[in-house]
Amino acid sequence: MRETLIVVGLFFLAVALRSARWALLRKFGALMFLIATFWLGFFLSGSRLGGAAAVSCWFFLPWFELLTHIRRLRLPLNNRLHHRRVPDPAFFPNAMEASAAMEAEGFEHVSDCGWKWAGMQQFFRFYWHPEERAISAICLCEQSDVAFAFISVTSQDSEGRTWRTTNFPFSLTLQCSPHIRWNYVPCEQYCFHRILSHHREFLERNQVDADGLRIPDPEDVEDALEREMHHQVQYNLASGIIRLTGDGHFQYSKRGLIFLWGQFVKDMVRLC
């Protein structure tokens, strides 16, 4: 009974810490889950190796999803954006506040559009600012009963490189082509004014002069996103992350599944 009570007590402590408001305590709660799992494996096997094996099971959990669902996914080679109405604000967290903040910074609304991608619906609301030489976007991702939103600010220099600052909460599911540079800010940071400030600092840190940025074309915003996705797909085909299925679609290769597993583990560590 002593071993059972130790493991149960550690799991209850982990659940309590995960319910805390402070991020540091929640992270400690995630660590406590690993500690409880180690002792469970140790008590069942009688060895530290058994405890370590039990802990490693947490990091191999994504393989269940990878092998049962993602391995069978067929994704379109040429996905097209379609004009869409703005989703219900009740399902679009902080969208109205972000839109008002963008307009307060001098950004002008360009278009509302979206597409379906791997069973997920994505809605985009685009804004542009000629003096800032940037495109900003609010994006809503919906899959089943789960929805999350994020903001991005994008600039392009005279050499064709794309500079993007975003609070997107997850790692990318495809390798990023070299001409796109990402600047991630914490996902809980949803103030557009601060994200725009981070973007300016990002450009300054990389010695990208404002005069060297291209003035975006508001009529080309949707086509630019489609071209970017097409280039990313081609880059991942060449890298062996994905492979063609022969019917206008592609799927993840074995190498791609390993890449996705690494991204999932990275998110587990980062977002715990």
Residue 125 lies in a domain: yes
Q: Which of 33, 60, 87 is the last residue of a domain?
A: 60
Element (H, E) at 41: helix 23-45
Classify strands 249-252 and 75-76 as parallel, antiparallel or unpaired.
antiparallel
Q: Which tokens in the block code for residue 63?
A: 């393989």
Q: Are 260 and 143 in a shared domain?
A: yes
Q: Are 10 and 122 in a shared domain?
A: no
What's the confidence (pLDDT) of residue 241?
96
% of the chain with per-residue pLDDT over 70: 98
Which residues lie closer than 8 Å to 243 by C-beta, 6 or more apart? 237, 250, 251, 252, 253, 256
Q: Are 54 and 169 in a shared domain?
A: no
Q: Are 37 and 95 in a shared domain?
A: no
As a whole number of Å, the CA-based R_g of the chain is 22
pLDDT digits (tens, 9 = 90+) for 221-247: 999 999 999 999 999 999 999 999 988
Residue 271 lies in a domain: no
Q: Are 250 and 151 in a shared domain?
A: yes
Residue 67 lies in a domain: no
What's the confidence (pLDDT) of residue 93?
67
Q: Are 38 and 93 in a shared domain?
A: no
Residue 102 lies in a domain: yes
Q: Which tokens in the block code for residue 260?
A: 């996705």
What is the distance between the alpha carbons of residues 41 and 10, in angstroms, rounded to a whole number? 13
Residue 120 lies in a domain: yes
Determine phi and psi for 56, rounding to 5 degrees. Answer: -65, -25
Q: Are 150 and 223 in a shared domain?
A: yes
Classify burial at 256, counting beta carbons within 10 Å of its beta carbon; exposed 0-12, middle 13-18, buried 19 or more. Answer: buried
Count of structural domains, the chain: 2
Q: Which domain holds residue 24?
A: 2-60
Q: Are 212 and 161 in a shared domain?
A: yes
Q: Are residues 252 and 242 in contact, defined by beta-carbon separation less than 8 angstroms?
A: yes
What is the distance between the alpha carbons of residues 225 and 74, in angstroms, rounded to a whole number? 21
pLDDT digits (tens, 9 = 90+) for 188-212: 778 899 999 999 999 999 999 888 8
Q: Are 106 and 237 in a shared domain?
A: yes
Residue 32 lies in a domain: yes
- Residue 60: helix, strand or coil by DSSP? helix
pLDDT at position 116 over 80:
yes
**pLDDT grade for 19, boundaries at 50, 70 and 90:** confident
What is the distance between the alpha carbons of residues 169 and 111, in angstroms, rounded to a whole number? 24
Q: Are 199 and 87 in a shared domain?
A: yes
pLDDT at position 78 over 90:
no
pLDDT at position 104 over 80:
yes
Looking at this protein, which amino acid is placed at residue 62?
Answer: P
Q: Are 9 and 117 in a shared domain?
A: no
Which residues lie closer than 8 Å to 129 by C-beta, 6 or more apart? 105, 106, 107, 108, 136
Residue 66 lies in a domain: no
Which range has the worst mean pLDDT, 94-103, 143-152, 220-229, 245-254? 143-152
* pLDDT mean across residues, the chain: 89
- The pTM assigned to this predicted structure is 0.84
Looking at this protein, which amino acid is placed at residue 188?
Answer: E
> Which residue(s) pair with 249 in the sheet?
76
Q: Are residues 237 and 250 in contact, defined by beta-carbon separation less than 8 angstroms?
A: yes
Q: Are 168 and 36 in a shared domain?
A: no
Residue 70 lies in a domain: no
